[in-house]
Each structure stands twice: as structure tokens, then as C-alpha cells.
């Protein structure tokens, strides 16, 4: 019996009949500001994507955890996440654990994320790491649309293979795209394709199993200098400022070191970017 919500597609190859399975999951969230705090005003879902009940450890900021009950993404799965933060609303979105993309027999797994942040609103998009198993085949697109005075902090942390289990990344590929716009004008258009060659090459990851990128708009030259001092001479770390978009990059053989670096960067600049004091979501410590 096929699970509810599982897409099926029948096809033939060499006169043999095959069935392709894949989850198609969609989640749409909308945040608005009332007189006291930000509330989750819209939530619609299809398939295995959902959220826990919002909570308020910082008072007015709405914290939400994204959940994917199957526990991993397989070939043929299609995940779509659409977030809209209305005027002056403040939201922080994270996940209770890593996202896992499993080995593929050839089909691709897709993830699409759309983040819209209106005037005077702030959004922190802070999912825990994405683990791409050896042999996985994924496409992940993130599009961020900002109003003129909207503020955004976000990151993506990627783990290729499972180093703790002795698994490298000699097969498979991850195609990653980030697009950040302000009032329809591009601030950043970036595509990256990671495969076994890029994993091993000196011009790529040089064998490092983990890499990540951190973004923050509304940043200043003083934010840039503070992060440069934090990095000092640490290898595999970098930062730049394009207009007011701060971009940090990191590569390492230990994912936790990248997480620690990004969390320190966020703590340094959070009060300037989203006008909130440093705060670490409690779920990250469990």
C-alpha cells in the first residue's frame, strides 16, 4: 500500500514496468504584527511539512520550528516552503534537527524555499545543517525578496557524506542556488554545483566535508570589521560586504566548527541587523 500524500508515476524501461515514488510537500506561512507581538496568521500545508506551535522566548519575536516527519528526503521528493513576513513583523525560523537527503538511484530530489520580508519586518532563516548522503542527487533553491527597509539573517550549512561513519562523497551531486532581491533588484545571484570533483579539488572544497554561507542585509563596514577580527587568521573562513549585504563563508571537516563560527557572527551583528539582543534557540542544545 502507498502512503497517503506519496506521488506515484508509472513508466517503462526495456519493456519493464516501474513505479516512481515521491513526496510532494508544500508549506505556506504568513506572519503579521498585532499590537503586542508577531503572530502566525497563515498556515497551510500539503504532505509531510508542518510546524510546531509558535512560541515567544524573546517576547514579541515569533519563533517557529519547521518539521519534516519522514525524517529525510529521497529521490523524487519535492519540498516547497513559502514564508511571508508582513510589515513590522519579526520571525525566527529554524529546525529541530538536520535535514537529510538520502542516496538516489538517479532521480533528483527538489527543495524550493521562498522568503518574502516586507517593510520594517525582520526574518531570521536558520535551519540546522543539511546532510547530503553519498550518491544523493539534489536541487535546492532559496529566493529571498526584501522590501527597502526589511532585514534578513540567514544561513545554509552543508555536510557532504557522513564523515563520522567513514562515508565520503565520491558519488552524487548537490546543485544549490541563492537569490536575494531588494525591491526587485538583485543583491546576490549565486549558483553552486558540488559533485565528487568539486569535493576533492583544490579549487573546490579540497576534501572538506562541510561548508556554509551566512547572509545578513543591512550590515555596515563596522560589522564587516568586527567579523574580520573574529576570523583573524582562522583558515577556511572569509567575509565580504557587498553594498549592505554581509556574506560569510566557511569550510571545515567539522560541521560544529562552522556552526560555532556562524553563531558567533550572528551574536556580533544581531542587535544591529534585527534590533534584538543575542539569543540562541534552545532547540539547538538538544
Domain boundaries, the chain: 20-212
Backbone φ, ψ for residue 31 (5° rounding): -120, 135
Q: For residue 21, what pLDDT is reported?
A: 59
Look-up: residue for cell 538538544?
286
Q: Which helix (H) or strand (E) holds 179?
A: strand 173-182
* Cα→Cα distances 124→120, 150, 227, Å: 14, 11, 18
Q: Which helix (H) or strand (E) holds 101?
A: strand 99-101
278 within 8 A of 266, measured Cβ to Cβ? yes
Q: Is 266 helix (H, G, I), strand (E, B) or coil?
A: helix
- Taking the C-alpha atoms of residue 178 and residue 188, their distance in angstroms, rounded to an integer, is 7
Q: For residue 285, what pLDDT is reported?
A: 87
| Pairing state between β 62-67 and 90-94 | parallel
- Taking the C-alpha atoms of residue 273 and residue 100, their distance in angstroms, rounded to an integer, is 30
| Residue 113 neighbours by CB distance under 10 Å | 20
Q: What is the pTM of this model?
A: 0.90
In DSSP terms, which residues pair with 36 in a beta bridge?
none
* Cα→Cα distances 184→81, 148, 216, 279, Å: 20, 10, 18, 31
First to last CA, the chain: 35
The per-residue pLDDT string of the chain (286 residues; one tens digit each, 9 = 90 and over) reads: 333 444 444 334 344 433 345 779 999 999 999 999 999 999 999 998 999 899 999 999 999 999 988 778 888 899 999 999 999 999 999 999 999 999 987 789 999 999 999 999 999 999 999 999 999 999 999 999 999 999 999 999 999 988 877 788 889 899 999 999 999 999 999 999 999 898 888 888 888 999 999 999 999 999 999 999 999 999 999 999 999 999 999 999 999 999 999 999 999 999 999 999 999 999 998 8
* Cα→Cα distances 73→22, 143, 146, 212, 279, Å: 9, 20, 29, 20, 30
170 within 8 A of 233, measured Cβ to Cβ? no
Amino acid at each position: 500500500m502507498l502512503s497517503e500524500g506519496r506521488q506515484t508515476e508509472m513508466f517503462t524501461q526495456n519493456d519493464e514496468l516501474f513505479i516512481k515514488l515521491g513526496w510532494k510537500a508544500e508549506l505556506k506561512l504568513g506572519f503579521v504584527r498585532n499590537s503586542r507581538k508577531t503572530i502566525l496568521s497563515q498556515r497551510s500545508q500539503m504532505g509531510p511539512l508542518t510546524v510546531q506551535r509558535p512560541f515567544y522566548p524573546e517576547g514579541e519575536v515569533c519563533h517557529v520550528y519547521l518539521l519534516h516527519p519522514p525524517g529525510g528526503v529521497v529521490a523524487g521528493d519535492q519540498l516547497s516552503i513559502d514564508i511571508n513576513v508582513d510589515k513590522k513583523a519579526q520571525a525566527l525560523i529554524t529546525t529541530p534537527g538536520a535535514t537529510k537527503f538520502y542516496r538516489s538511484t538517479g532521480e533528483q530530489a527538489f527543495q524550493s524555499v521562498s522568503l518574502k520580508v516586507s517593510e520594517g519586518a525582520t526574518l531570521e532563516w536558520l535551519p540546522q545543517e543539511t546532510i547530503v548522503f553519498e550518491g544523493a542527487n539534489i536541487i535546492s533553491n532559496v529566493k529571498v525578496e526584501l522590501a527597502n527597509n526589511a532585514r534578513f539573517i540567514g544561513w545554509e550549512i552543508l555536510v557532504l557524506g557522513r564523515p563520522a561513519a567513514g562515508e565520503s562523497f565520491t558519488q552524487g551531486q548537490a546543485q544549490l542556488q541563492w537569490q536575494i532581491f531588494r525591491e526587485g533588484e538583485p543583491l546576490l545571484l549565486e549558483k553552486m554545483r558540488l559533485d565528487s570533483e568539486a569535493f576533492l579539488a583544490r579549487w573546490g572544497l579540497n576534501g572538506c566535508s562541510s561548508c556554509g554561507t551566512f547572509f545578513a542585509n543591512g550590515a555596515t563596514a563596522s560589522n564587516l570589521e568586527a567579523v574580520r577580527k573574529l576570523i583573524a587568521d582562522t583558515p577556511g573562513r572569509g567575509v565580504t560586504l557587498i553594498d549592505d549585504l554581509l556574506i560569510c563563508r566557511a569550510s571545515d571537516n567539522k560541521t560544529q566548527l562552522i556552526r560555532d563560527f556562524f553563531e558567533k557572527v550572528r551574536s556580533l551583528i544581531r542587535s544591529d541587523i534585527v534590533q534584538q539582543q543575542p539569543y540562541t534557540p534552545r532547540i539547538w542544545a538538544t
